Structure 1
Amino acid sequence: MRNTTGRYSGYIRPFSYVSDVLILSFFGFYFFNFPQREIPFYLLLSSVWLIIAAQLGFYEVYRYTKVVSILNCAVKQFVLFTISLLSIVYLYGEQTSFTTLFSYLGSVASCIVILKLVIYYFLKEFRLHYGGNLRRVILIGSPEKVAPLQTFFSENLEYGYKVCNSFSLEENIEKELQEAFSFIIENKMDEVYCAMSDLTQPQIQMLIDFANNNLKTLKFIPDDNQILSGSYVFQYYGYLPIIALRDIRLDETYNKIAKRIFDILFSVLVIVVVLSWLTPILAFLIKLESKGPVFYKHQRNGLSNKVFTCYKFRSMQFSKDEKYDPVSKVDSRVTAIGQFLRQTSLDEFPQFYNVLKGEMSVVGPRPHMISYTEQYALKVNNFMIRHFIKPGITGLAQTKGYRGAVENDSDIINRFKYDIFYMENWSILLDIEIILKTIFNILKGDEKAY
């Protein structure tokens, strides 16, 4: 079957505009009764919807966009649209019950979100099973730099990227770049991915000029140091461009308030529903097996690198020696009940009290002991960036397999990469997704839970 490379993708967004406006109008006719001013009402409603969508990027959905990002944007879209609808109805002076208004909003939200997800998943299946809607790409850079992206493309065919060639830049870089340029033009490549650290600044500029002049999409692959330096964000002071080193979502007041409310509600729920009866039982079992306190208290680095006391159920033999050595898979210090607590992550549950106190969040970068923080800061460039937000009971890195003991440098580097991604892409829905994945991993069992 001949591959189609996005031949019809240009029609998807206009189709979404039209279908959403039709959904708004259809349910408007069904629920509302504004006989004298129907057409102006629906034109105003549709205009407000599209203006909000343009501001939020509601229709900016790409093949690499995550579902949680789509849902997060949909929540914002409907919150603002709800406020606008209430204002419009009030200005029209029509007597409309809240039941009617929210029935309308519920119907519109359900249909639009379902349609959006149907299109999203249809395109994924179309790419995966029929080889359609493809992007033909080439990779430029040393094999070790481009290998992770090449592996990602080959293992995630539903994204629709086909790697047609790779130029290693191992010998004569200028000559290989010219060969790459010829290949791109002759074979009508759609996108070019280049390892940034393999080129000098003049060579990067040459690549940019070529892509601009030949209307090709150019994207750069940063190395570890560039990733860990944070993402650069353009901000404009009037017309003067300023580069900010990072864009942390939780720096915004609204996001801080939303996350804090979520943390309080969730931690209260866990403390009342689970810890209220579980704590006495675990306390009895812990004390029965070994002498010592029920809770283990230790100092960890938190928000702004401030030290706080972190709580856990004690899972090891009590020792007055303050020295702490990492726990191994077979460790005689871990008690029988402690082994169960560690495997099920129940030993972390007292940290919901830390959340309630405002020292931690339910989701965030996992806090480390002070001595470990100092060690990791020496190994990983810009490691302290993770302390711009509160630490969490669970985190994105933990759901991706980087929980527990740090066995080698790549463990802490990859853990940090996920922490940075979380900081720059935070949303309530992402928190919920991480919590659900954490619960699933606990029920499934994690080999690193020891």
Structure 2
Amino acid sequence: MKYRNSDYIIPISIFLNLCIINGVLLILTPETYLNVFNIAYYNISWLFIAFILNYYTTDRKELFFTRFHKIIQILFVYFLSYFALFAIRDESIPSISYQYVVFAILSICLIWYRVLFFWVRGKFRVIGRNSVKVVVLGRDRNLKKIRKVFDNPTFGYFYSGYFSDNESKSPTYLGQIKDSFGYILNYDIDIIYCVASNFSEDELKNFVDFADNNLIRFKVILDDMDVFNRAMSVETYNTTPVLNLRNVPLDTEYGRIIKRAFDIIFSGLVILLILSWLTPILYILIKIDSPGDFYFKQMRHGYKRQTFWCYKYRSMTVNKESDSQMAKKGDMRVTRIGKFIRKTSIDELPQFINVFKGDMSIVGPRPHMVVHTTDFEKSVDKYLVRHFVKPGITGLAQIMGYRGEIIKPSDIKNRTRLDIFYVERWSMGLDIHILFYTIYNVIKGEEKAY
């Protein structure tokens, strides 16, 4: 393969990461670092974890924010490995809190290095380094979409143009298909993209043979169909490629394990540190304020449309419309203490019990009443896609302003759109981002929290 100046990217990145790890630990915690076994452990464990998580990749379209979950994943696992050393060696730690600070500084340095890495790589590609020359055989609507990737200089593609037997006055039109072979060899093309719908099986085979015999990478652009989406992936059954149109990151074993582990730890801490003392106080206030049960529980739809009891602190008077009508601005059903706990979202805290039980997750699409799910699945396109994952206490739609009452059809459509985006693009980095802005919005106060 004739990629330019790419052979040293991964070795240099590994070397600099190890320099950061060893440098930070040597400066900040020499008493635990200056040991042959410990030094070997810190370095080998990082390399092993990075290999298992496929941390060092050369995906040309990879950017810092599109793969932010990678740094979160490796730092989380390395955190466990880092502190496991003290148990393995049975060594006394001078100060466990200080070690937390050390690891936090180490994490910040590694994150900033990754930011700098993508910035330098982008600049490197803009001047023509680590780049590839590409041409396209054939043309359809998908070519315009792919051109958006080719035209981004940080990805390092040099798009030469396209060949087609249908002549065009486009400045990127290079000629007929028969002229492409000489052009590709003369201009040292690295990758050939072929629009499959424009050619017969025999023609495609000839293209593949030509590319293989000249050490040129060959890629096929699938037929232009409206069913394609950004969440699709290709699976192989023996030698037959099969297109999976709904790829859900949380279908992977790793995704389920890390998200469930985070849910159990986080919800357990909330139950022990907050609900344990807050619940008795609210019990007295809610009971004094109005008659009725302390907890409000409601049947809602969750993962794979299964029903479960969703818990809240009761914030309304007992009423017959609670299972069919959402709270509205100035709703007379809301009690005095209810106004406060709804405004601060305290009424949602018992759902951490749902999370601990496994009915919900901390982050995910908000669960709706059964009657609303029945309605929306008929009126909103792809509404049920949001049920491919567990519902959450907070979600992407909520931090984007789509929470509470649904006033107009666009509210539920936009909420569904953001929920589907979350389902298709889940990562621990996205979960942390949503959690941060949820806390920020609670402190700031939300207009629709009523």
Q: TM-score range by the shorter chain?
A: 0.5 to 0.7
Q: Tell me the distance in 2 between the aligned counterparts of 1:359 and 1:24.
A: 39
Partner of 1:3: none
Return the alpha-carbon distance in structure 1 between the equivalents of residues 95 and 313 of structure 2.
49
Q: 1:393, CA displacement in angstroms?
A: 1.3
Instruction: Check the 8 A contact 1:233/1:243 in 2, yes or no.
Output: yes
Partner in structure 1 of residue 343 of structure 2? 343
Contact persistence 2:125–2:156 (CA under 8 A): no
> SS of 1:99's equivalent?
coil
Which residue is 1:114 aligned to? Answer: 108
Counterpart CA distance in 1 for 2:447 and 2:276 is 30
Picking from 15, 24, 40, the partner of 1:18 is 15
Deviation at 1:12, TM superposition (A): 5.2
| Aligned pairs for 1:66-77 within 5 A | 66-77=67-78
Give 2:419's aligned amino acid: F
Contact 1:227 1:417 in 2 (8 A): no
Query: Which residue number corresponds to residue 233 of structure 2?
Result: 232
Partner of 1:57: 54
For the Cα contact (< 8 Å) 1:49–1:81, is it kept in 2? Answer: no
The answer on 1:270 being equivalent to 2:274 is yes
Contact persistence 1:192–1:216 (CA under 8 A): yes
Q: Give the C-alpha shift of residue 117 in structure 1.
A: 1.9
Query: Hey, what's the Cα distance between the residues in 2 that align with 1:272 and 1:309?
Result: 21
Cα offset, 1:352, TM superposition: 3.0
CA drift of 1:46 comes to 4.6
2:69–2:427 CA contact under 8 A, matched in 1: no
RMSD of aligned alpha carbons:
5.8
1:309 maps to which residue? 309
2:417 to 410, 414, 418: 414
CA contact (8 A) 2:264 2:356 kept: no
CA distance in 2, matches of 1:131, 1:280: 64
Distance 1:104 1:415, change over 3 A: closer
1:448 corresponding residue in structure 2: 448
Q: How does 1:232-251 map to 2 (within 5 A)?
A: 232=233, 234=235, 245-249=246-250
CA distance in 1, matches of 2:192, 2:287: 59
Give the CA deviation at 1:109.
Answer: 5.1
- The within-5 A match list for 1:134-153 is none
Counterpart of 1:284? 288
Task: Say if 1:366 and 1:392, in contact at 8 Å, map to a contact too.
Answer: yes
Structure 1, residues 269-310: CA drift from partner, whole Å, max 9, x if none?
A: 33124334234334434x2xxx65554432211233222222
Alpha carbons of structure 1 residues 326 and 200: separation in structure 2 relative to 1, 3 Å: farther
Q: Structure 2: any 5+ residue segments left out of the alignment?
A: 176-182
SS in structure 2 at match of 1:118: helix
The number of equivalent residue pairs is 409
State the secondary structure of the residue aligned to 1:324. coil
Q: 1:162 to 1:371 in 2, by over 3 A?
A: farther
Tell me the amino acid that sits aligned with residue 369 of structure 1. Answer: M
Give me the whole-angstrom Cα distance separating, in 1, the residues matched to 2:55 and 2:190.
25
Contact kept? 1:271, 1:352, Cα under 8 Å: no
Cα separation, 2, equivalents of 1:190 and 1:380: 45
- Amino acid aligned to 2:288: F
Q: Is the 8 A contact 1:28 1:42 kept in 2?
A: no
Q: TM-score, normalised by structure 1?
A: 0.64
For 2:180, the equivalent position in structure 1 comes to: none
Distance change >3 Å, CA 107–CA 181, structure 1 → 2: farther
Structure 1 SS opposite 2:235: strand
Q: CA deviation at 1:9?
A: 8.3
- Aligned residue identity for 1:114: I
CA deviations over 1:123-163 (Å, ceiling 9, x no partner): 677799999689999xx9989x97xx98x9xxxx9x95799
Q: How does 1:114-263 map to 2 (within 5 A)?
A: 114-122=108-116, 180=172, 182=174, 201-202=197-198, 226-227=228-229, 230-232=231-233, 234=235, 245-249=246-250, 252=253, 254-255=257-258, 257-262=260-265, 263=267
- The alignment status of 1:438 with 2:425, answered yes or no, reads no
Residues 1:356 and 1:58: Cα distance change in structure 2 (over 3 Å): closer
Which residue of 2 is the match for residue 403 of structure 1?
403
Question: SS at 2:13's partner residue?
Answer: helix
> Percent sequence identity over matched residues?
28
Q: Which moved more, 1:174-183 or 1:437-446?
A: 174-183
Unmatched segments (≥5 aa) in structure 1: 1-5, 194-198
Deviation at 1:411, TM superposition (A): 1.6
